Structure formats: C-alpha cells, structure tokens
Structure 1
Amino acid sequence: MGAAASALGSGASEDVKTFVDCFIAMAAQTPEGKAARRQGWMAADPNGNGIASLAEIDGWIQKTLLFDFGENQDEADRLWKLFRPCYIRAFNDAKDIGRDRAVAGTNASTDDYVQKGEFRLMNAYLCIYAVMFDAFALIDGGGPGTDAHDDRRMSLEEWTAGYDKVKDHGFVGLAGIADEASEDSIESIFAQMDADGKGMVLLNEWCRWLEKKEQEAGTPIGQMLAIGDGPEQSAGAALPQA
C-alpha cells in the first residue's frame, strides 16, 4: 500500500488508504513530489491557462484513479464517487492561498480556481479531508463507506454508538474522546460539533471541528489547514499519525 497509507491512523479504512496512496506523492516537498505534481498538473489543467476549476479538479481526480487502477475501472469509479463529498473542501481551502488576480476575459478571479502554485497543498488537503470523511462515514449509518442508511448527517445517537470507532483515525480531536480525565462528555463534544444547534452534525461541521482541534493543538495538519489564512508555511505532506 505504500508509505503514505502507513502514515494514516490505524483506524482508517482500506478504501481511504488506497485513495490517499494515489495522491499523497503529489503533496510531498521532494524532487519526486515536484515531478509527480508536474505530471498531475498537466492533466488537471489541460488547456494550459494556469488555473483549474472545481469541475476540472473533479475530473482530474477521476482520471488519476482510473489510470492508477488500470483494468479495474469499476473500483476506481467506486472510490471516486465514495470520496467525492470531500473534493470541494480541498478545492476551496487551496484556491485562496495564492495572490488573487483577475482572470482575463472573465468576471472571475484566480480565487475562483486552484492555481499551479496551490496544487501541492490541494493534494495534501484532498488526503486530509478524505480521512475526515472516512471517519464521518464510519459513524453515519453505523458502518464503513456509504449506503442507503447514510444521510450525510450524524445524530447524537449515531455519535454515541460510534465515536469509539474513530479514535484511532489519527486526528487529535478524536484521540482524546474516551479519555476519562477529559472535562468534555460525549454529549458536550457533539454540541461543539453541532454548530447550528439543530441536533445533527453535517460533514462540513465535522470537518470544521476536527480542523479547529488540530489548529488549537498546533499540529502539522492544523498548521497546513491554516495556510489559507496567512502566508504559506512549510508543513510538508503530513497526514494524521497513528
């Protein structure tokens, strides 16, 4: 499965390990990572204008999986559809990193697209949010992946029944949930995640809470996810650690 997948928390599914392994090389700050990004960007920006839309990134993710899986096209398509809810989060986090400029001949600006200089972190974000989604899906509906029981919302009942399944996914906010010394209860943690107070935790609320906990703890992931709010930092291609 490769070193990228082994860097994931021990609770991560085989699906997300496989998915991450297809993209993590392009997040590395190494000569090999730079070469992989060069090839990846050529496919993501086929018209060579230096920017990639969400639709182009979505299509590029699909093409990358199809290429990596060779003859097993059905499995590639399954993984593309499985992790598709997290693509927009990776895209949105990455597109605001670089300097905003007008796009000639349009009413858009470069903050509406991922630029070439943002592509490395977009791949890192893609891997991070895929792992966040993997943990969310394990609780939503009570099992891995997505099926008819998943509604992209997590109830308190599902959280109470499933929180123990995700403590080893590698995120600092999940690792200490079962700590008896913590002042937070299962119910109070759910309330923190339920930002709108409507009694259900949506995927975007889940991701924001995990991101907040990483940033509060000053982890490499937290630093990386904060880059869009300030100058780029050298955070490497970190993934949640076991």
Structure 2
Amino acid sequence: MTTTDIDWKSFLDKVSTEKDWDEFLAKFPVDMTEEEKAKRAEIFAAFDPNGNGYLSLAEIDKGCRDILGLYELFEAKKAIMRAYQAAKGVGNNSDETGADYVEKNEFRLLLVYLRDYFILWKIFEKIDTGNDARINMDEFMTGVSKIETFFGIEIAEPEAEFAKIDANSGGQLLFDEFADWALKKILLGEDKALV
C-alpha cells in the first residue's frame, strides 16, 4: 500500500466538513493519466520561474501560495518542509546540485507529499489544542478518540502509544514524530514496522 492508495477525502471529511476537500485534492495532479501529467508539467513550469529545471524550498513555498492558491498549505510550513525534504534528491539524475532541490522528475512525488503531509498537519492541529505545534500528554489523552476516528485504529494503551510516538523522549509530540507514526499506522497497520 502507498499513500496514493489511501482515500484521503474520507480523512479530510473527518477533520472538517466546512471545506470543499474535492477542490483541494484536485489541486494535486498526482495520477499517472496523460491529463494529470500535462497539468503537472504546467504547474512545474509555473513553480520554476527561472526555468533551471529544479525547485528550491522558497519556490515551492511561493508556488503553493501563488500558483496553487493553497493559502492554508502556505501557512503549514512544517508540512511543506517535510514534503520538500522527502522529495528532494529521490530521483537525482543530474549534477550534485540536484540533491538539494526538487527536480522535475521528483515533482509528482513532491505533490503527493505536500498533499499527505498537509492532511496530517490538519489532523495534528486538531489534537494540538494549545496551538504550540506540539502535542503534550494531556492533549493526546483528550484527542485519542479523534485519532482513532481519523485513522480507523484503536489505541488500547494511550500512555504507551504516546511514549512510542515521542521518539526524542521530550515529553511532547512534534509534527515529524506524529507524521512518522501516523503514516506507519495508515500504511502498515497496527503492529507492523517499516522494513
């Protein structure tokens, strides 16, 4: 299973029914159809104003806001950074510079990651009631039922699960920790580990 197999709309509808998620998801042409490939090429060209064939973080950030019109995503810097870090250098076929940027052959993957990490960010925000970009134990305990609903899982031992997610043992869940855990839960199921 990959993130492209997930019905993200059902996740989004659980997060908020106030937004048109179909319109949001349509801004990420990630399918392998000719129409979507053409849309991606057009969007990449708009993101790449200097035409050098690769995108910096600043160009991606600006493109999310100005080209895609995704102002909410533009405000979700952690999701953008995570998507950028995950996509850059994956398909590096050019010079050494390419590893530091997102190249055209990595753009589809970037769009997948932007979509996925933004959705996880929205879920993270629902649990982070202190609005400090961290989830403490109290917030996690209060949000367990939401997490179970969002991901369709059962958390039998919330304190132990919190400790498992808290990779740096800082007593707070950071977005990166939450996103890693959530993707493993969604993609691999309850007790499976990444191989």
Q: Structure 1 length as normaliser, TM-score?
A: 0.68
Note if contact 1:44-1:60 (Cα within 8 Å) is conserved in structure 2: yes
Tell me the distance in 2 between the aligned counterparts of 1:192 and 1:20: 32
Unaligned runs of 5+ in 2: 1-5
Partner SS, residue 173 of structure 2: strand
Q: Which residue in the other structure is 2:80 paired with? A: 87
Amino acid at match of 1:160: M
Deviations 1:185-226 (A, max 9, x none): 011111111001121101111111122334534xxxxxxxx9
Deviations 1:115-152 (A, max 9, x none): 101111111111110111011000001xxxxxxx3100
Amino acid at match of 1:39: E
The number of residues matched between the two structures is 185
Residue in structure 2 matching 1:102, options 85, 95, 100: 95
Unaligned runs of 5+ in 1: 67-75, 104-108, 142-148, 179-183, 218-225, 230-242
Residue in structure 2 matching 1:155, options 130, 136, 146: 136
Residue in structure 1 matching 2:37, options 34, 38, 41: 34
Tell me the distance in 1 between the aligned counterparts of 2:161 and 2:153: 11
Residue in structure 1 matching 2:10, options 8, 11, 32: 8
Note if contact 2:61-2:74 (Cα within 8 Å) is conserved in structure 1: no
Residue in structure 2 matching 1:57, options 29, 46, 60: 60
Deviation at 1:22, TM superposition (A): 4.8
Tell me the distance in 2 between the aligned counterparts of 1:22 and 1:166: 25
Partner SS, residue 197 of structure 1: coil
Amino acid at match of 1:32: E
Identity %: 30
Partner SS, residue 198 of structure 1: coil
Partner SS, residue 167 of structure 1: helix
When residues 80 and 130 of structure 1 are mapped into structure 2, their CA distance, relative to the original with a 3 A threshold, is: closer
Matched, 1:123 2:111: yes
Deviation above 6 Å: which 4+ runs of structure 1? none
Q: Which residue in the other structure is 2:3 paired with? A: none
Partner SS, residue 185 of structure 2: helix
Deviation at 1:46, TM superposition (A): 1.3
Q: How does 1:66-215 map to 2 (within 5 A)?
A: 66=69, 77=71, 79-99=72-92, 101-102=94-95, 109-141=97-129, 149-169=130-150, 174-178=151-155, 184-215=156-187
Deviations 1:164-188 (A, max 9, x none): 123333xxxx32125xxxxx40111
Partner SS, residue 14 of structure 2: coil
Tell me the distance in 2 between the aligned counterparts of 1:16 and 1:202: 28
Matched, 1:23 2:11: no
Note if contact 1:51-1:114 (Cα within 8 Å) is conserved in structure 2: yes
Q: Structure 2 length as normaliser, TM-score?
A: 0.83
Structure of higher RCO (CA pairs closer than 8 Å, 6+ residues apart):
1
When residues 15 and 200 of structure 1 are mapped into structure 2, their CA distance, relative to the original with a 3 A threshold, is: farther
